[in-house]
Each structure stands twice: as structure tokens, then as C-alpha cells.
Amino acid sequence: MSTPNKKLLILPGDGIGPEVMRQVHRVIEWFDKKRLARFETSEGLVGGCAYDSEGAPISDETMARAQESDAVLFGAVGGPKWEALPFAVRPERGLLRLRKEMGLFANLRPAMVFEPLVGASTLKPEVVSGLDIMILRELTGGVYFGEPRGIETLPNGERRGVNTQVYTTSEIVRVGRVAFELARKRRNKVCSVEKANVMESGELWREEMQKLHDAEYKDVELSHMYADNCAMQLVRNPKQFDVIVTDNLFGDILSDCAAMLTGSLGMLPSASLGAADSTGRRKALYEPVHGSAPDIAGKDIANPLACVLSFAMMLRYSFDMTEQADIVEKAVQSALARGVRTTDIMQPGTARVSTTVMGDTLLRELDKLA
Ligand code: IPM
Ligand code: MG
């Protein structure tokens, strides 16, 4: 029985966010009932719904609660309703503010193929079967936040849009450390990805990764790859990779690509972690890689598994609850092995179920595993 003071802030957000998060709530309640883990949960608004009722994609009050929590569980943000808003109040800014102000520089996006889903991938089974790679995306720097940025009107009346790709040594080294540490617990390989052939920031990235490796992580195998080649290699032969470490923008793109190898974006969880404080505690936010999918929102057909697997990552990375995390992941495995599928991962010979029924199935499998 664990102590009851693990503070979770739950931010379901927009679109399918609330309905997939609902299934995570049921898993949290299940842990509580079985006395396997207890959390103090509270909810808040983020994204378009926060803009509608609080005037900002995330309020200062919600930000403060996020900073005080042991972990934030995040659903998804955005939708057509808010697409014409000024940049500064778009739903996505809520997520970007959380990442930046909580200092969540390390974004772990594991792409794992669950064996029952091998056939759901658009790639040949032999290419993806057994796939288990980790994309580590730098999350608080690069072109997402670099200055100068903006749109200006030139004297000749032409408009000019500017963003800046920028990285400093310390930003590269701290995410590099996370990559090497992760690799040591996996298959001991890191592939660092940039465009050193055309960008100075990429040249710096490559040099700093190599220096860090030579100084502290000689036992880990390090290779370097250009981002365009990496995109190609991910669909050609993804199993060559173990940990891929890359910048914010390349990581955004390559992780969507890696996600699709597993059959559906609806399966992919993620963890965003800050630096460890003196007690070893890290600020943390957990979210499914998929977006708010407004086209299917409210229909009870979205896949809740990425959100549930994000919760499992939280158990593992924020609370060291390895056993509990294993149970959740096994329950997902067994639910899939039973042949239940949400629409996004449908295959011939399996049963199409709703979000809620997927949740029911998970709880039944959890009961068997407890
Ligand atoms: C992601 C998303 C976000 C990003 C959006 C919603 C701002 O695509 O988490 O991958 O670009 O980082
Ligand atoms: Mg993305």
C-alpha cells in the first residue's frame, strides 16, 4: 500500500481528450479500490475549452497547480473552432506554456509494436514485428521557442515570417545525458539526429553529442544521422534503432513517423520530463502523442490506449511503481490479444468496440492480473 499523497493534475483538454481521459480515471479508481496505488487528483482546463471559459489556453492558476503537482496527465488540445484565433491564444499555446514553464526538456516517445497489432501497421510485418525504439525529443528549445520570431511587413509591402533555430551547449548536453542514460537501460545504442550538413545549430548538436559521449558515455554506441535520412531509415528498417535523440522540430516529425510504424497514433504514449531536483524528483507531464481528433470527438470511438499507456509511463517514471506500470501494460496487451479493437486499429477477424468498451475490457484484464 503506497502513501496517498501523490498529487496529479488532470488536464483532459479538447476533442477526444476528455473521453480517452475518462478511461484513465477508471484505471485510477481501480488502483484505489484494489489498494495498489492512491492518487490525489484534481482537474483543470487547457486548450480551446480553457480559452472559452477562462480567456486563455491555460490560466495562471492552472499553471501554478501544474507546477505544484507531482505529475500532470494531459489529454489533447485544439480543434477547428479555435483555428482562426490569434497565435498567442491558440489552444496549442497552453501545451507549449506547460512545457516551457515547467522546464520539460526531455520528451520520451517510445514506439513499440504490440504483437497482436503487427498486422495493423501499413508496413510489412517482418519490418515492424518486435519493434521497440525510443525517440527522445528535445522539447523546450529550437525553432519552437527561438527568437527572433514573428511576421513583419517590409517597406516594399511584402510580408516576412521569421523563426529561429537555436541551441546552446547546455541544452544539447542535458538532453544528450538523458539519451545515454536511457540507452544504458535498453540496448545501449544512441543515434543522434540533426542536419549538420546545412545548419550550424546541427553542427553544434553533433559536436556536443560526440564530446559528451567521449567524456562520459564511452560504453554506449553512438552514431549520427541526418534527419532526412533518419525519416527514410525509419520506414526502411526501423529495427536498426534503439534510442534516437533529436531536436524539437525533427523530433515532432520523426515521432509521428515512428508512431505510424506501430499501427496507429492511437497507441503511442509520451512522457515529458524536467531536470531532477536535489531529491531526485522531476517535473513531469504525460500525454498521448495523438491530437484532439475533432472529427471523431464525442462519438465514443477514440482509442484510449495511448492515454492509458501514458498513465503507465507516469507510474514508471514519476513514481517508480514498476509493478503497477507492468500490470497496466500487460492489461493492454491482453485486451488486444482478446481481439477487441477501436476503429483506428481494426483488423479482419477482430471485434470493433467503443472507447468505453475498450475501458471495460481493460478493467476486466486488470482484475485478472491483480
Ligand atoms: C506534438 C504536437 C504539438 C507539437 C502541437 C500540438 C503543438 O504536434 O506534441 O507532437 O508540435 O509539439
Ligand atoms: Mg507532433
The string of DSSP letters for 122-190 reads SS-HHHHTT-EEEEEEE-SSGGGT-SS-EEEE-TTS-EEEE------HHHHHHHHHHHHHHHHTTTSEE
112 occurs within a structural domain: no
- Residue 4 scores a pLDDT above 60: no
Same domain? For 268 and 161 the reply is no
Look at residues 261, 288, 303 and tell me which one is the last residue of a structural domain: 261
Look at residues 214, 237, 261 and tell me which one is the last residue of a structural domain: 261
Neighbour tally for 363: CB within 10 Å: 15
Task: Return mean pLDDT, the chain.
Answer: 96
Same domain? For 12 and 42 the reply is yes
Same domain? For 159 and 254 the reply is yes
Same domain? For 254 and 311 the reply is no
9 occurs within a structural domain: yes
Q: In total, how many domains does the chain have?
A: 2
- What is the structure's pLDDT at 2? 46
Q: What is the CATH number of the domain that holds 320?
A: 3.40.718.10
115 occurs within a structural domain: no
Same domain? For 139 and 91 the reply is no
120 occurs within a structural domain: no
Mutation choice for ligand 1 from 72, 92, 249, CB with most ligand atoms inside 8 A:
92
Same domain? For 306 and 353 the reply is yes
- What is the structure's pLDDT at 3? 52
Pick the atom of ligand 1 nearest to 78's CA. 6
To which residue does cell 501554478 refer? 64
Same domain? For 215 and 234 the reply is yes
280 occurs within a structural domain: yes
Q: Does residue 144 have an active-site annotation? A: yes
Q: What is the pLDDT of residues 97-148, one digit of tens each?
A: 999 999 999 999 999 999 999 988 899 999 999 999 999 999 999 999 999 9
- What is the structure's pLDDT at 264? 84
116 occurs within a structural domain: no
**Atom 5 of ligand 1, nearest CA residue:** 92
**Among the listed residues 14, 51, 25, 69, the one whose alpha carbon sits nearest the alpha carbon of residue 290:** 14
351 occurs within a structural domain: yes
Q: How much of the chain exceeds pLDDT 70, in percent?
A: 99
**Among the listed residues 38, 32, 30, the one whose alpha carbon sits nearest the alpha carbon of residue 7:** 38
Same domain? For 189 and 215 the reply is yes
Domain with 49, as residue range(s), is 1-106+263-370
The answer to whether 104 and 274 are in contact (CB under 8 A) is yes
Same domain? For 267 and 248 the reply is no
346 occurs within a structural domain: yes
Pick the atom of ligand 1 nearest to 270's CA. 9
Same domain? For 173 and 240 the reply is yes
Same domain? For 268 and 257 the reply is no
User: Is the C-alpha dihedral spanning 21, 24, 25, 26 positive or negative?
Assistant: positive
Q: What is the pLDDT of residues 25-34, one digit of tens each?
A: 999 999 999 9
- What is the structure's pLDDT at 246? 98
Q: Does residue 344 have an active-site annotation? A: no
User: Where does ligand 1 bind, in terms of residues with CB under 6 Å?
Assistant: 92, 95, 252
Same domain? For 257 and 267 the reply is no
Of these residues, 6, 51, 70, 144, which one is catalytic?
144
**Atom 6 of ligand 1, nearest CA residue:** 92
Look at residues 261, 283, 304 and tell me which one is the last residue of a structural domain: 261
Of these residues, 52, 60, 214, 228, which one is catalytic?
228
